[in-house]
């Protein structure tokens, strides 16, 4: 083994980890603030300032970090930080700001890895809830597990559809069909026919409905129902531990929105405008943030303002029955796109 050859990607990963930590937290909290402001205006309120989430984190750091006597202290303290760290690592594998993912310098991680890593933050909350030793937190943790089991099915259908459409291209130069860099270079709308557009439109809708459940937002926030189980799995958390979970929520919002942009809207504006160098980078970053904002607006803000909370059995039926069927219809359109388009439009 040549240690020198291995040091360069290792150094880049360390610097990249620092960068995504800052990017994830800053933009996660910023989009959280924008979400709160917009939802307030939609409800006829003024709402807090956009920087309120930053103030909330600062306030939580000052508060006491109470550990209930029924809790298992080391798990209770470890769960929040593990959830936050795992969420931030996902950003290494997602194309951000129009650039290739930081981890794309080698075969370091693909979309399947992102799918697995997305489970960890929710699992950390579940473990934290069970470790709290309170009836409310245990009920919240059980609901979170049920929600996770429910939404993974339609999420997997979306991922498989995109990968399969790339696979159907049959291009040996394409690289792995699960690579996010490959998906970003071959947008699904550019490689599909009319039936593929319908299929991917349906799958985009499915992913938009999966997102609030991933983020435990209304109408899928049954695990954290404030009015029902007193905050659910976060009921016993306070102080800096709660701040860690708060940051996890913000970063995960940014992660999910970036993932949707990477899968369905990976386009760069600089190419259209014929820009190069620093202006191109600036325009691409701003365009990326606008796309992320629009995803957050339609998948989180609008939905949570418009509807009420669903019960856990309604959540299960929404994902396991309705969204799975809708997702499968979208997948069928994608699979048959080649044959149907050739038949009807040849």
Partner 1 sequence: MFSIITESGFWNPIIWVLSFIVIFLIMYILRSFGNNKFKKQGEKTKVFLSGNPEYASDDMHIKSSNLYWGFTKVLDWVYTVLKRMHNGDVRDYILWFVIIMGTLLLLGVML
State the binding string over 103-122 for partner 1 (x if CB under 8 A, else -): x--xxxxxxxx---------
The whole-angstrom distance between residue 291's C-alpha and the CA centroid of its chain comes to 14
Closest CA to 185 of 133, 262, 127: 262
Closest CA to 211 of 287, 101, 319, 306: 319
337 lies in the binding site for partner 1 (CB under 8 A): no
CA atoms of 345 and 343, how far apart (whole Å):
6
181 lies in the binding site for partner 1 (CB under 8 A): no
Task: Compare residues 221 and 236 and give the one whose CB is closer to partner 1.
Answer: 236
Candidate residues 50, 72, 152, 176; the one interacting with partner 1 per rule CB under 8 A: 176
Determine the interface stretch with partner 1 among 101-109, 261-269, 278-286, 323-331 (rule: CB under 8 A).
101-109
249 lies in the binding site for partner 1 (CB under 8 A): no
CA atoms of 48 and 29, how far apart (whole Å):
13
Which alpha helices (H) appear in 215-276, and where do they start and end? 226-229, 239-264, 269-273
Determine the interface stretch with partner 1 among 33-41, 259-267, 308-316, 338-346 (rule: CB under 8 A).
308-316
Q: Which of residues 67-86 bind partner 1 (CB under 8 A)?
A: 67-70, 81, 84-86
Q: C-beta of 267: minimal distance to partner 1 in Å?
A: 24
Closest CA to 27 of 213, 214, 295, 298: 295
Task: Compare residues 28 and 109 and give the one whose CB is closer to partner 1.
Answer: 109
Q: Which of residues 183-242 bind partner 1 (CB under 8 A)?
A: 230, 235-236, 239-240
DSSP 321: I
Query: How many of the other CB atoms lie within 10 Å of CB of 6?
Result: 10
Candidate residues 174, 267, 317, 340; the one interacting with partner 1 per rule CB under 8 A: 317
Residues contacting 98, CB < 8 A, separation 6+: 268, 270, 281, 284, 285, 287, 288
For residues 287 and 261, the answer to whether their CB atoms sit within 8 Å is no
Task: Compare residues 69 and 278 and give the one whose CB is closer to partner 1.
Answer: 69
Task: Compare residues 17 and 341 and give the one whose CB is closer to partner 1.
Answer: 17
282 lies in the binding site for partner 1 (CB under 8 A): no
Q: C-beta of 315: minimal distance to partner 1 in Å?
A: 7
95 SS3 class: coil
Task: Compare residues 38 and 251 and give the one whose CB is closer to partner 1.
Answer: 251
Candidate residues 39, 122, 134, 253; the one interacting with partner 1 per rule CB under 8 A: 134
Candidate residues 146, 269, 280, 326; the one interacting with partner 1 per rule CB under 8 A: 146
Q: What is the dihedral of CA 31, 32, 33, 35, to 10 degrees?
A: 80
Task: Compare residues 246 and 293 and give the one whose CB is closer to partner 1.
Answer: 246
Task: Compare residues 68 and 187 and give the one whose CB is closer to partner 1.
Answer: 68
Q: Which of residues 21-40 bind partner 1 (CB under 8 A)?
A: 21
For residues 180 and 313, the answer to whether their CB atoms sit within 8 Å is no
338 lies in the binding site for partner 1 (CB under 8 A): no
Closest CA to 240 of 26, 32, 63: 63
Task: Compare residues 177 and 331 and give the one whose CB is closer to partner 1.
Answer: 177
316 lies in the binding site for partner 1 (CB under 8 A): yes
Task: Compare residues 46 and 62 and give the one whose CB is closer to partner 1.
Answer: 62
19 lies in the binding site for partner 1 (CB under 8 A): no
Query: How many of the other CB atoms lie within 10 Å of CB of 100?
Result: 13
Q: C-beta of 343: minimal distance to partner 1 in Å?
A: 24
Phi, psi at residue 41, to the nearest 5°? -65, -35
């Amino acid at each position: 083994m040549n240690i020198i050859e291995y040091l360069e990607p290792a150094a880049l990963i360390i610097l990249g980890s620092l960068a995504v930590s800052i990017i994830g937290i800053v933009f996660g909290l910023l989009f959280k603030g924008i979400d709160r402001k917009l939802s307030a205006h939609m409800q006829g309120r003024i709402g807090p300032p956009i920087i309120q989430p930053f103030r909330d984190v600062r306030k939580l750091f000052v508060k006491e970090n109470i550990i209930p006597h029924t809790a298992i202290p080391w798990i209770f303290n470890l769960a929040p930080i593990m959830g936050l760290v795992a969420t931030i690592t996902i950003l290494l594998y997602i194309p951000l700001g129009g650039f290739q993912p930081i981890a794309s310098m080698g075969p370091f991680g693909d979309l399947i890895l992102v799918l697995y890593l997305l489970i960890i933050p929710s699992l950390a909350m579940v473990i934290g809830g069970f470790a709290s030793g309170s009836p409310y937190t245990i009920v919240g943790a059980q609901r979170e597990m049920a929600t996770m089991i429910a939404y993974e099915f339609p999420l997997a259908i979306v991922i498989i559809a995109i990968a399969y459409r790339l696979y159907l291209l049959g291009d040996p130069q394409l690289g792995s069909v699960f690579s996010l860099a490959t998906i970003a270079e071959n947008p699904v709308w550019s490689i599909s026919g009319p039936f593929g557009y319908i299929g991917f439109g349906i799958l985009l809708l499915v992913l938009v409905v999966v997102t609030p459940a991933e983020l435990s937002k209304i109408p899928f926030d049954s695990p954290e129902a404030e009015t029902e189980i007193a905050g659910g799995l976060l009921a016993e958390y306070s102080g800096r531990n709660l701040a860690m979970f708060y940051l996890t929520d913000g970063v995960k919002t940014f992660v999910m929105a970036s993932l949707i942009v990477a899968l369905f809207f990976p386009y760069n504006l600089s190419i259209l405008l014929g820009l190069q160098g620093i202006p191109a980078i600036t325009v691409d970053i701003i365009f990326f943030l606008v796309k992320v904002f629009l995803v957050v607006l339609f998948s989180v803000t609008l939905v949570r303002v418009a509807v009420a909370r669903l019960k856990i059995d309604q959540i299960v039926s929404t994902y396991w029955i309705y969204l799975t069927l809708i997702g499968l219809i979208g997948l069928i359109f994608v699979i048959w796109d080649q044959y149907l388009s050739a038949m009807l439009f040849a």
